[in-house]
Structure 1
Amino acid sequence: MDSDLIPRSISELFDTMVEAFLLQFGALIELIVTPGWRQYQLLIVLLLVAASFVLKAATLGRWEAWARSRSGWPKWRLRTLVQFMRRLTLVYFVLLSWGVYLVMQQVTWPSRSYIIGVLATLATAWLVIALLSHLVRNRTIRRIFRWSMWIYATLVALSLTDDVAEFLDGVAITIGDLHISVLGILKATLLIGTLLVLARLGTRAAERGLKNNEDISPSMQVLLAKGIQVALYGLVFLIGIRTLGFDLTGIALLSGAVGVGIGFGLQKVVSNLISGIIILMDRSIKPGDVISLGDTFGWINALGARYVSVVTRDGREYLIPNEDLITGRVVNWSHSDEFVRLDLTFGTSYGDDPHKVRETAVRTVKTVKRVLSGGKHEPVCHITGFGDSSVDYVLRFWIRDPTAGLTNIRGNVYLALWDAFKAEGISIPFPQREVRLLGQGQTGVVAQQIDTE
């Protein structure tokens, strides 16, 4: 490694930065011990801090009662209100310090309120950073963002940014035209973090806008939302790489070679991704559809890039790979319309009038909730055969809400038929067996089984 990779002036830069910190610290000590308006400003700041605590104690109950009455507000506004109330002391200090600073700027010399102005600016920056940091969901990233921004705001208020930036820029690695410094990494990290937050907010806003647009189908809404998400996060990645100083041309060539190797190792993943795009484009399934795939029956909760989330009636959520939906046999109960026909089979005794049985079955099924009647959705009952011990029938009826369940509606119809047949004197036979002794030989008793009704 070349000696230029580790600059010899790092120690000198560090000494310069430490010297600047010591000068600022000495100036702060001088402000405290020197009699005059400097001490008066510090005393005013202490009084403002005390007043902020008193105001919080006096008004916290009223703020909480007012916040409880805002139950109709959107969630984001309620969260912001909660964050303000958690930092009520800091809010009061910001308001009081700026008020005192503006008054003192008008009635006395500007230098007599300089410290108050610096602390008011610093407190405002801390408050804004604390509120903005809650836009970041990840707790670790949120803490890193909050503390880094607080440190940066403090350095700006104390006029130490140039010295620290010079030191951090000196701690670098230089390879050819590529210069990577600690300062550059920090800037890129901060920029990427900010852009990721903006990309997430932009993706959410786009998803809400697409869902509210009734002219776009649900599957196309998901496809457009995924496209916007990929575009925004891809742009963040390119900006981050560019900020670090990497040449995008070389990365493009390298990524093409690496992509071929990764493609062979991730065939299933790529297949699921492409299958997901096909599903979204041909609109064969969409969120809310009721599907059956093998033994899995449920409705589609969400369409992902790699899998489809299917929720069953028992509350289980199955993550089915997109490839299985493309290559397998899928029953979509609500693909073209929401009407579903169900068939129930039953049998009655040969002694019962089949005309009466059919009439009773059709009349009874119409009384069951969720069963449709009229037009092409009129229930029908047909004889399907003469069985060994019963006349077999099939009862066909329609429903329009398969998401409410199929087993429960079948059970309700069977229960209604049981009650109606019992009231009409219609019997439901079951197989019976009779054993007759024919004789007794050397090998024992010979028995013959005869099936009877």
Structure 2
Amino acid sequence: MYRLSSAGLLETRTRANLGTMGNDILQAPHEIAFSLWEQAQFFIAGLMRPWNAYQVAIAIGLFIAAHFLARLLGPHVHAWMRAREGWPKWRMRFLVMLHRRLRLIFFVLLIWPAVWIMQSATWPSRSYLLEILASLALAWLIITIVTRFIVNGFIRTMVRYVAWTWVTLGILGLTDETQRLLDSVAVELGDMRLSLWVILQAITVIAVLMFGARFVSRTTAAQIRQNKEISPSMQVLAVKFLQVLLYGAAFFIGLRAVGVDLTGLAVLSGAIGVGLGFGLQKVVSNLVSGVILLLDRSIKPGDVISLGETFGWINSLGARYVSITTRDGKEYLIPNEDLITGQVVNWSHSNDYVRLDIYFGTAYTDDPHTVRRIAIDAAKGVERVLEFKPPVCHIVGFGDSSVDYILRFWIRDPTGGLTNIRGNVYLALWDAFQEHGISIPFPQREVRMLEGSTLETHRAGAASSTAD
């Protein structure tokens, strides 16, 4: 920690004024805060000295110059960026981030040469403020660039501000006092002492370990999904198990790294288990059902299933739900428990072959043998209908107006849709029947007049004239 001497130099300040409590972690928070305030007063008083005022004026002048350079060159840089149309998206985002911070970049580029010139031309004490400002500006710029690679916006903002604060305290030499101040704010839980400093350490270590676990899980998950020898359901199970293992290990290792006693968590975990048993039954049921679905491999990503009136293919298997997309673009999130307890039709469970049936009728005057042959030939000519599983046609009944038939055919790509292939087969039947003169009857009614009955008709004109 530092203060300004009477000569205006930045020298190391001794901790004698802290007394015997200087290294004691139980030092009162107000004493540490008073020490920090005392140093701030020394620092502000030192700014009033002539050479320090000159350095502040130089820094302000350099900042104004950086501002005008950013305003002058910013449009040209932006136009150059717009001309880079073929560049990858990540590179363009990085350029946009740099463009928004041109003023800080120019300030760093201007202040460091000024520091080097001042150090070579005069005493070090007459450039130390510029060196502090240059170090702060460079550190803030590096932190801004590095944290830009964090995808989550909230986490990126939190890490950026925490890093700015800690680097600023380090450059100003206030890390020890800040650490003691945070460590003095604590609570006693039995034999465990939990301070604000320990909590911040735990959050930082756990966040870093979680980031590492996330990176490892994503890399490993990509390799697992590329392995064609592992079934899709087992791929999902392996990825979920790996994520739980890595994130759980990161959490407990992070707590142990900062000295938190984990024996007390045993009682807490028991209480949480009781709460789960009573209040979160559905959630736990869906989680367990999801594990069962992955283990028995009854469904997997890409399968075409029907559940009630919902028909579509599976996009992904989640911890709580299964994502199903229908032909009309709707995405349904079906709870895992419903897939375990309900009746599910998996059109592609053991294989991709699906048999479809369509019904039609022809007139009694048409030869049934000819109708069956024409219907089979028409179905064979439709794309997606399998030839090595040939269509069949059977008479299923004699109706009031027609002879009723059923036409059965096979496909092996249910993900391509069922309604469209049925429609194509019906259209092929229509064309074939029109070509061969086979009629498709429709219901007709015949009215007979009984002897002695009369038929009365009323014309609209007669009725209107009568009304007049």
Query: What TM-score do you get using the length of structure 1 for normalisation?
Result: 0.83
Aligned to 1:14: 33
2:239 matched to 1:220? no
* Structure 1 contact 293–329 (Cα < 8 Å) conserved: yes
Shift of residue 291, structure 1, vs aligned partner: 0.8
Change beyond 3 A, Cα 1:112–1:20: closer
Judge which range, 267-276 or 283-292, deviates more. 267-276
CA distance in 2, matches of 1:316, 1:250: 47
CA distance in 1, matches of 2:95, 2:66: 18
User: Matched residue of 2:165: which SS?
Assistant: helix
Aligned to 2:70: 56
* Structure 1 contact 155–161 (Cα < 8 Å) conserved: yes
Change beyond 3 A, Cα 1:96–1:217: farther
Change beyond 3 A, Cα 1:210–1:269: same
Aligned to 2:441: 429
Aligned to 1:297: 311
Aligned to 1:205: 219
Instruction: Give matches, 1:120-269, under 5 Å.
Output: 120-136=134-150, 139-242=153-256, 245-256=259-270, 258-269=272-283
User: Matched residue of 1:225: which SS?
Assistant: helix
2:95 matched to 1:81? yes
CA distance in 1, matches of 2:117, 2:224: 50
CA distance in 1, matches of 2:224, 2:119: 51
Instruction: Give matches, 1:357-436, under 5 Å.
Output: 357-368=371-382, 370-376=383-389, 378-436=390-448
1:372 partner letter: V
In the alignment, structure 2 segments of 5+ residues that lack a partner are 1-24, 456-468
Shift of residue 255, structure 1, vs aligned partner: 1.4
Change beyond 3 A, Cα 1:317–1:67: same
CA distance in 1, matches of 2:26, 2:125: 41
User: How many residues are matched?
Assistant: 430
User: Matched residue of 1:394: which SS?
Assistant: strand
Shift of residue 307, structure 1, vs aligned partner: 1.1
* Structure 2 contact 302–315 (Cα < 8 Å) conserved: yes
Judge which range, 7-16 or 308-317, deviates more. 7-16
User: Matched residue of 1:381: which SS?
Assistant: strand
1:417 partner letter: L
Change beyond 3 A, Cα 1:327–1:425: same
Aligned to 2:42: 23
* Structure 2 contact 362–404 (Cα < 8 Å) conserved: yes
Aligned to 1:449: none
Change beyond 3 A, Cα 1:135–1:231: farther
Change beyond 3 A, Cα 1:47–1:124: same
CA distance in 2, matches of 1:117, 1:217: 60
Judge which range, 177-186 or 243-252, deviates more. 243-252
Deviations 1:128-171 (A, max 9, x none): 33234445555544433332322222111211222222222112
CA distance in 1, matches of 2:129, 2:353: 74
2:36 partner letter: M
CA distance in 2, matches of 1:335, 1:317: 21
Shift of residue 439, structure 1, vs aligned partner: 7.1
Q: Between the two proteins, what is the percent identity of the paired residues?
A: 56
* Structure 1 contact 184–243 (Cα < 8 Å) conserved: no
* Structure 2 contact 380–387 (Cα < 8 Å) conserved: no
Shift of residue 355, structure 1, vs aligned partner: 3.4
Shift of residue 40, structure 1, vs aligned partner: 5.4
User: Matched residue of 1:229: which SS?
Assistant: helix
CA distance in 2, matches of 1:94, 1:360: 84
Judge which range, 309-318 or 261-270, deviates more. 261-270
User: Matched residue of 1:434: which SS?
Assistant: coil
Judge which range, 327-336 or 150-159, deviates more. 327-336
CA distance in 1, matches of 2:202, 2:342: 46
In the alignment, structure 1 segments of 5+ residues that lack a partner are 1-5, 446-453
* Structure 2 contact 306–346 (Cα < 8 Å) conserved: yes
Judge which range, 379-388 or 320-329, deviates more. 379-388
CA distance in 2, matches of 1:279, 1:168: 48
Shift of residue 19, structure 1, vs aligned partner: 1.2
* Structure 2 contact 210–251 (Cα < 8 Å) conserved: no
Deviations 1:17-54 (A, max 9, x none): 21122223333x14xx413xx55544553454344334
CA distance in 2, matches of 1:92, 1:208: 41
CA distance in 2, matches of 1:436, 1:48: 109
Instruction: Give matches, 1:58-73, under 5 Å.
Output: 58-68=72-82, 70-71=84-85, 73=87
* Structure 1 contact 306–322 (Cα < 8 Å) conserved: yes
Change beyond 3 A, Cα 1:75–1:225: farther
User: Matched residue of 1:345: which SS?
Assistant: strand
Larger radius of gyration: 2
Change beyond 3 A, Cα 1:16–1:111: closer
1:390 partner letter: S
CA distance in 1, matches of 2:271, 2:196: 30
CA distance in 1, matches of 2:89, 2:224: 20
Query: What TM-score do you get using the length of structure 2 for normalisation?
Result: 0.80
2:399 partner letter: G
Aligned to 1:119: 133
1:309 partner letter: S
User: Matched residue of 1:432: which SS?
Assistant: coil
* Structure 1 contact 17–167 (Cα < 8 Å) conserved: no
